[in-house]
Amino acid sequence: EPEVTQTPSHQVTQMGQEVILRCVPISNHLYFYWYRQILGQKVEFLVSFYNNEISEKSEIFDDQFSVERPDGSNFTLKIRSTKLEDSAMYFCASSQSPVREQYFGPGTRLTVT
């Protein structure tokens, strides 16, 4: 069964460093998303992406964040200068259309020290 994969599973970085989180969406999906979940809190939408453009972004997704689809299979989230409050689980999701089911990856746990 096709699934969304994410790497790394755990990333530890120092405050101020850049990190890139990687995702491989399901192959026939066209819509891609990033969500995050701070420990003990709800899952929050960060950004949606279609046709090499951001479709929608939340207030959390400020200038420190960027997304890219560098090739036909990967979808990345970059945080330019990490802050302590960026520590969270980051989930990638994909769907065939914005009104269809979204399938989530296992997540990357980002720890900023």
Partner 1 sequence: QKEVEQDPGPLSVPEGAIVSLNCTYSNSAFQYFMWYRQYSRKGPELLMYTYSSGNKEDGRFTAQVDKSSKYISLFIRDSQPSDSATYLCAPYNQGGKLIFGQGTELSVKP
CB of 58 or CB of 66, closer to partner 1 = 58
- Nearby residues of 16 by Cβ (< 8 Å), 6 or more positions away: 81, 82
What's the distance, Cα to Cα, between the start and end of the chain in Å? 37
Taking CB under 8 A as the binding criterion, the range among 13-21, 65-73, 75-83, 86-94 that sits at the site for partner 1 is: 86-94
Of 75, 95, 110, 112, the one binding partner 1 by CB under 8 A = 95
* Beta-strand runs (E) in 1-113: 5-7, 10-13, 19-24, 31-37, 44-50, 53-57, 65-68, 75-79, 88-95, 103-104, 108-112
Instruction: Choose the binding region for partner 1 from 14-22, 59-67, 68-76, 91-99 (rule: CB under 8 A).
Output: 91-99
Using DSSP's 3-state secondary structure scheme, residue 109 falls into: strand
| Count of chain residues binding partner 1 (CB under 8 A) | 29
Residue 7 structure tokens: 């790497």
30 binds partner 1 (CB under 8 A): no
91 binds partner 1 (CB under 8 A): yes
Candidate list 20, 24, 43, 60; residue touching partner 1; CB under 8 A? 43
Using CB under 8 A, which of 42, 51, 52, 62 touches partner 1? Answer: 42
